[in-house]
A and B are shown apart, each in its own frame.
Chain A
Amino acid sequence: MALLELTDVTASYGPIRALHGVTAYVDEGSIVALLGANGAGKTTTLRAISGVVRTGGRITFNGRDITNNKPAEVTRLGIAHVPEGRGTLAQLTVSENLRMGAYIRSDGNGVKRDLDRVMGYFPWIRDRRNQVAALLSGGEQQMLAIARALMLKPKLLLLDEPSLGLAPIVVREIFRIVEAINREQNLTVFIVEQNAALALQVARRAYVMEVGRIVLEGPSQELALDESVRKSYLGY
């Protein structure tokens, strides 16, 4: 069953329409990628899901209609959104960032357990807990953003371009961890990327967007072989 379903979703910024009817689904337990060039509407799609922009059409999560729910409510249903630019709470410490990740939870012991689990994936965090997040490198901030999202104990993780501005070696490390988390925690991931080659390696299925529409979809292996995807996004 699809955990997340978008049916004919539209969104506008003022008079400019950013999404012209996006239909897509994300299966429980899978990693699904949303590819496309700058300005294709990938980020807006994620923002529509978490309720940051108002939308038309229908979005369901776990069988429940969440269209135009407020971000604070969507979060409470178990959707963690790592936004474009990582959303680092820069003036707060690393540990405060993680505590804010668990803000909606009241199960203190569960939060402690998850903190240990998260530090298992990102061991460097333990020594730098009390540092102000602004002092972290870009890659570390991206990892902290993912760690913070995990503290929510989400059912679905929305990742907006985790590779942005990072060195290839760091990006590979982040994708390796995301894959491990998906496998070991059975966490469903919907990931927006411009780096199509890498995204297609980790994702089971993928969508390709162009100017507010889905133009192509299918299993990652098939898309990786598709001539137009190769030319436009993989560059060979």
Chain B
Amino acid sequence: MLLASVSFAQSLAQQVVSGIASGAIYASLALALVLIYRAMDVANFAQGEMAMFATFIAYTLITQFHLAFFAAFALTVVIAFAGGFAIERVMIRPFEGSSVLTLVIVTLGLFSIVNGLAGLIWGYVFKTFSGPFSSNSIQFGGVYIGIQDLGVIAVTLVVLSVVFLLFRFTKLGLAMRAASLYPESSRLLGVRTSRMLALGWGLSASVGAVSGMMIAPIIYLDPNMMQPILLFAFAAAVLGGIESPLGAVVGGVLVGVLLALVGTYLPGGQNLRTPFALLVIVAVLLFRPAGLFGRIEAKRV
């Protein structure tokens, strides 16, 4: 009996760490969603596909151009930024000021375009994407923790810190925040808000790309790989408060841990992860629509 409870505690600790690692990945994608949502009031349904496409670029850089993982990683982040920037200029800019529904349809269109393009270039056969981290575990007081999990958590922490520092301490970050929250006032202060939006798309694509490159070694690489992840990221963003970057990160970790526990301890749990993510979305929208960190704002009409 005692033995069983010790091993339960150990397995629980392992699942929590592994959940935090998955959660870190959801957090990155959720943050990417939030960055665009804050600027446009629109959920970018193509966010996952953009991340997938970037991951395929990393795959090509590694397999065809024989780059080391982290060289390919850095280059991909830059390419994703340029791609996100270009997508905003070409596909979103003509619809600036359009209704939310129009923009939702544009992002859905973008979803199909990016998905189809990836299929056309790389095909639909599952590919192995080797990550930089060993699949071994290290032991902490009887608990085995995957090096891969720790690596994913570390990489995500670095990326999130860079984004945080950018927004908190740089003039550009301040202007991006101001432009997304108060576009009209910002224009009167000389901010070129349309350009800020394009930079926001670039940044968001970069952060999303990180989530793709971190998840691909755990699952397989294929054009549809990010679709469940996008759903988990939505759950994370909604749970955290869709306008709160900090909320996206906390929400991501919470959803990651929750789904890890559901997957391990509920009978048939692996298949229950998606319904549980939906359950989180519905529950939050019903009982606390602003999420954990969102604020309910009174609007003057």
Contacts and interface: CB of A to CB of B under 8 A. Distances in A.
Most A-side CB within 10 Å, residue of B177, B186, B189? B189
Interface string B145-182: 00000000000000000000000000100110110011
A96 B193 CA distance: 17
B188 A50 contact: yes
B188 A87 contact: yes
6 contacts: A52-B184, A87-B182, A89-B178, A92-B174, A100-B189, A103-B191
A91 B178 CA distance: 9
Contacts of A101: 189
Contacts of A70: 187
B166 to A, nearest CB: 14
A52 B189 contact: no
B175 A52 contact: no
A100 B186 contact: yes
A83 B185 contact: yes
Nearest to B243: A91
Most A-side CB within 10 Å, residue of B175, B177, B185? B185
Given A99-B171, A103-B171, A71 B178 contact: no
Interface string A81-119: 101000111111000100111011000000000000000
A71 B178 CA distance: 15
B66 interface: no
A155 interface: no
Interface residues of A, number: 24
Nearest to A51: B187
Interface residues of B, number: 17
B192 interface: yes
Interface class of chain A by DSSP: loop
A100 B171 CA distance: 8
Contacts of B267: none
Given A83-B184, A87-B184, A89-B185, A104 B190 contact: yes
Interface in A127-171: 148, 152
Contact of A92 (B171, B178, B190): B178
Nearest to A106: B171
Contact of A96 (B174, B184, B192): B174
A75 interface: yes
Contacts of B174: 92, 96, 99-100
Contacts of B181: 89, 91-92
Given A52-B187, A87-B182, A89-B186, 11 more contacts: A72-B191, A75-B189, A83-B188, A87-B188, A92-B178, A100-B189, A101-B189, A103-B191, A104-B190, A148-B189, A152-B190
A172 interface: no
A99 B171 CA distance: 8
A72 B192 contact: yes
B184 A100 contact: no
Contacts of B175: 100, 103
